[in-house]
Chain A
Amino acid sequence: RKEVEQDPGPFNVPEGATVAFNCTYSNSASQSFFWYRQDCRKEPKLLMSVYSSGNEDGRFTAQLNRASQYISLLIRDSKLSDSATYLCVVIPSFSGGYNKLIFGAGTRLAVHP
């Protein structure tokens, strides 16, 4: 089983739609979680961190479910510019100093007019 798994998509949604992605992780001791965004032929960039209490940033909401070992990303009122691949990132454990990030393969979102 992969450490971090995502539905590759693509999710094809019209502008204005609400769309949600899930990401499951295998290590129950995982400590930190993030969503990154990667545009076509570009490098990944941090979208948001995922806190235990969940967090919201404008149209984006991230949630963590430790019991079921998944994190989610909800995008409301989708824009054409939201079209990208969304990467789930997990830090499995803390070992002092730098903590290795594990990336999912990404979920592709295509927003159409």
Chain B
Amino acid sequence: SAVISQKPSRDICQRGTSLTIQCQVDSQVTMMFWYRQQPGQSLTLIATANQGSEATYESGFVIDKFPISRPNLTFSTLTVSNMSPEDSSIYLCSVLDRAGANVLTFGAGSRLTVL
């Protein structure tokens, strides 16, 4: 399985500020995925990040709020912009464990608290 390093592991931020989360994979992958897990709720896909093209956002998520970069096949960032307390959540990046298997490997997650 791919090994994913995600940082920061946690942060406490003030309302109105922005935070960028980094995700580094130890192998080249075509797609990287960003999920959000709010307390007591299921993982929700925010967007799919493809190298060399704009990210594909799921319903309810927009690029202005969650801009994503994907400069190469091993790295991606997710920015949570103009944060409010409702953005307090765990943000996880993930990749396909192996091609065609539809199994995801996740990073350890970034626990964000917005005051």
Would B42 and A32 count as touching, CB distance under 8 A? no
CA distance A49 to B56 in the complex (A): 27
Q: Which residues of B from 69 to 107 have beta carbons under 8 Å from A?
A: 92, 96-97, 102-107
Q: Which residues of A from 10 to 55 have beta carbons under 8 Å from B?
A: 32, 34, 41-46, 49
Would A100 and B45 count as touching, CB distance under 8 A? yes
Chain B residues positioned under 8 Å from A104 (CB to CB): 42
Taking the complex as formed, is A103 at the interface, i.e. its CB lies under 8 A from any CB of chain B?
yes
**What are 19 A-B pairs with beta-carbon distances under 8 A?**
A8-B40, A41-B111, A42-B109, A43-B106, A43-B107, A43-B108, A44-B43, A44-B92, A44-B104, A44-B106, A45-B105, A46-B97, A46-B103, A46-B104, A49-B103, A98-B96, A100-B45, A101-B45, A103-B43
7 additional A-B pairs beyond A34-B103, A106-B42, beta carbons within 8 Å, are A32-B102, A43-B106, A43-B107, A44-B92, A44-B106, A45-B106, A46-B103
Chain A residues positioned under 8 Å from B45 (CB to CB): 100-101
Residues of B within 8 A of A (CB): 31, 40-45, 48, 92, 96-97, 102-109, 111
Taking the complex as formed, is A87 at the interface, i.e. its CB lies under 8 A from any CB of chain B?
yes
CA distance A43 to B92 in the complex (A): 8
Would A101 and B42 count as touching, CB distance under 8 A? no
Using A42-B108, A43-B107 as known contacts, say yes or no to A98 and B31 having CB atoms under 8 A apart: yes
How many pairs of residues, A versus B, come closer than 8 Å at their CB atoms?
Answer: 42
CA distance A53 to B86 in the complex (A): 42
Min CB gap B35→A, angstroms: 8
Taking the complex as formed, is A69 at the interface, i.e. its CB lies under 8 A from any CB of chain B?
no
Using A43-B107, A43-B109, A98-B31 as known contacts, say yes or no to A87 and B43 having CB atoms under 8 A apart: yes
Taking the complex as formed, is A4 at the interface, i.e. its CB lies under 8 A from any CB of chain B?
yes
Chain A residues positioned under 8 Å from B108 (CB to CB): 42-43
Closest B residue, CB atoms, query A99: B102
Min CB gap A51→B, angstroms: 13
CA distance A105 to B107 in the complex (A): 18
CA distance A98 to B99 in the complex (A): 9
Chain B residues positioned under 8 Å from A49 (CB to CB): 103
